[in-house]
């Protein structure tokens, strides 16, 4: 069927890629007024760094903008497609520019966490000597995947998932600034489905908008002056029809790992093994899977079964040593064990509540009796005075106030409803019954 409206081959996300820091949406802590990257660009003094954050938040775009605004040669490599030879060839090209009094080139490496140790080693000399300014991009924690010598030469900047406000602004900007969409009569009546599917990923959001718009204008009646009102139901219907579009470039990677984690949290070992098989067959990084199991063991199982963290940690070490195909067995064993374990998020909830309290109350003073007193002056000021040493008392316990006065009654840890934490609750109640009860529900 003929298409009434012609669209370019270049994706909307590429067409909408910002060219300056002023056009960049989100990451105000890095590019806003007086933020570190903006100051770096304004001063013209650039040093190597790694951008760590989820997909679609602007890592590649930010590197390109920095290079362009500082008028530096820009070389880009993908860790998935490049080897040591490519790295060395790029460094040789960079060396040649030094003879023309040009500023140090920027070498951008996407998915730097996928570089092997030898590939990362090949970068060290060039970064150390200033032949290139390295900007790496990664969705994984650099401390796990980037070798220490290289990491020590780079600052790490964390990028956050885009907020709802950022995503809404992106949609509005696309409708009024894109050379093709602005010619059409498009109205977004509901945006919840597009925002939810995007998961904070700008690329996904703009791809979704483009899929819906193209589908609506793909019949002879889809003339440019026809009004299109985008609703949640329309978005869901079009995405179902075009779901294959979202399987490329690894975007399903995050949906499948999400399903994997949620079914383990939900105590379904069969589903856990199924999603594990999907990831393994798709070529997923086994260390990525193992790391997620370590996190889950603490966040979702926690004190209900402390052995879960030990098993997950051993799994990570084992798959690192063994590799595929045998690592599949280790991952399967661990996933089944974690899915079958009792669950508790009490430790996860406790630290989140404590951090929230700290942010609200600020730096409250440490009670005098808990302070360290290494000098005579500090002792004269009462530091450490009246502190009661718990081991000097029966049951190695003494009633004491350990929190600042302003939050003395705060409760952060609420034992979960499982046999192991029930024992912990009873012991804590027995010890603390004169000051606070662990038997009350949160």
Q: How many other β-carbons are positioned within 10 Å of the β-carbon of residue 347?
A: 20
Q: Residues near 158 by Cβ (< 8 Å), separated by ≥ 6? A: 52, 53
Q: What is the CATH number of the domain that holds 257?
A: 1.20.272.10
- pLDDT, residue 225, reads 66
**pLDDT on residue 101:** 66
| DSSP secondary structure letter of residue 299 | I
Among candidate residues 340, 363, 387, the one where a domain is terminated: 340
Question: Of 117, 132, 158, which residue is a domain's last?
Answer: 158
Answer yes or no: do 122 and 216 share one domain.
Answer: no
Domain of 293 in residue numbering reads as 251-340
Does residue 367 fall inside a structural domain?
no
Measured CA to CA in angstroms, residue 430 lies from 56, 152, 258, 387, 395 at distances of: 51, 49, 40, 22, 11
Report the pLDDT value the prediction gives residue 246, as an integer from 0 to 100.
39
pLDDT(310) > 90: yes
Crossing angle for the helix pair 327-340 and 252-265, to the nearest 10 degrees: 50
Least trusted range by pLDDT, from 26-35, 69-78, 97-106, 242-251: 242-251
The number of helix segments (H) and strand segments (E) in the chain equals: 20, 7
Of 293, 319, 340, the position where a domain reaches its end is 340
**Mean pLDDT for the stretch of residues 137-159:** 88
Helix (H, G, I), strand (E, B) or coil at 258: helix
Q: How many domains does the chain have?
A: 3
* Euclidean distance between CA atoms 334 and 296, whole angstroms: 11
What mean pLDDT do residues 139-152 have? 85
> What are 358-388's pLDDT values in tens digits?
988 888 888 888 888 777 777 777 888 888 8
Smallest CA-to-CA distance from 108 within 125, 92, 87, 93 is with 87
Tokens standing for 333? 């064993």
CA 282-285-286 angle, 5° bins: 105
| 168 and 186 part of one domain | yes
From the CB of residue 140, how many other CB atoms can be counted at a distance below 10 Å? 17
Radius of gyration of the chain, Cα coordinates, nearest whole angstrom: 27
Say if residue 243 is in the same domain as residue 255.
no
Alpha helices in 18-163 (DSSP H): 28-31, 36-43, 59-69, 84-97, 117-128, 142-145, 148-151
Helix (H, G, I), strand (E, B) or coil at 155: strand
Lowest mean pLDDT among 211-220, 261-270, 273-282, 327-336: 211-220
Residue 40 sits in the same domain as residue 149: yes
Q: Which two tokens stand for residue 216?
A: 């609506």
Tell me the backbone φ, ψ of residue 185, rounded to 5 degrees. Answer: -100, 80
| Statement to judge: residues 174 and 245 lie in one domain | yes
Q: Give the dihedral of Cα atoms 413, 414, 417, 421; nearest 10 deg.
A: 40
């Amino acid at each position: 069927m003929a298409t009434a409206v012609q669209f370019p081959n270049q994706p909307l996300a590429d067409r909408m890629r910002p060219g300056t820091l002023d056009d960049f949406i989100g990451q105000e802590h890095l590019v806003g007024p007086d933020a570190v990257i903006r100051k770096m660009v304004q001063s013209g003094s650039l040093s190597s760094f790694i951008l760590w954050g989820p997909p679609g938040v602007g890592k590649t775009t930010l590197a390109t903008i920095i290079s362009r605004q500082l008028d530096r040669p820009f070389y880009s490599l993908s860790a998935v497609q490049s080897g040591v030879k490519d790295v060395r060839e790029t460094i040789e090209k960079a060396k040649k520019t030094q003879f023309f009094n040009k500023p140090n080139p920027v070498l951008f490496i996407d998915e730097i966490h996928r570089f092997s140790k030898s590939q990362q080693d090949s970068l060290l000399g060039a970064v150390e000597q200033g032949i290139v300014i390295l900007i790496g991009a990664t969705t994984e924690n650099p401390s796990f995947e980037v070798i220490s010598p290289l990491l020590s030469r780079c600052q790490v900047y964390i990028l956050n998932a885009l907020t709802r406000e950022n995503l809404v602004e992106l949609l509005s900007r696309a409708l009024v600034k894109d050379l093709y969409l602005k010619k059409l009569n498009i109205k977004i009546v509901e945006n919840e489905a597009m925002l939810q599917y995007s998961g904070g990923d700008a690329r996904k959001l703009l791809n979704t908008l483009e899929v819906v718009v193209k589908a609506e204008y793909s019949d002879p009646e889809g003339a440019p002056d026809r009004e299109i009102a985008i609703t949640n139901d329309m978005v869901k219907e079009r995405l179902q029809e075009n779901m294959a579009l979202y399987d490329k470039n690894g975007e399903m990677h995050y949906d499948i790992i999400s399903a994997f984690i949620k079914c383990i949290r939900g105590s379904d070992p069969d589903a856990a093994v199924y999603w594990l098989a999907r990831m393994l067959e798709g070529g997923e990084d086994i260390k990525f899977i193992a790391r997620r199991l370590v996190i889950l063991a603490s966040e979702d199982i926690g004190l209900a079964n402390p052995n879960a963290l030990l098993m997950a940690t051993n799994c990570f070490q084992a798959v690192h040593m063994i590799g595929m195909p045998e690592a599949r067995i280790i991952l399967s064993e661990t996933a089944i064990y974690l899915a079958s374990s009792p669950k508790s998020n009490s430790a996860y909830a406790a630290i989140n509540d404590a951090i929230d309290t700290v942010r609200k109350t600020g730096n409250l003073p440490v009670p005098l009796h808990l302070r360290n007193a290494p000098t005579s002056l500090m002792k004269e000021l009462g530091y450490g005075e009246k502190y009661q040493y718990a081991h000097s008392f029966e049951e190695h316990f003494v009633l004491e106030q350990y929190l600042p006065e302003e939050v003395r009654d705060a409760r952060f840890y609420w034992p979960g409803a499982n046999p192991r934490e029930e024992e912990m609750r009873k012991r804590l109640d027995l010890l603390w019954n004169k000051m606070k009860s662990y038997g009350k529900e949160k």
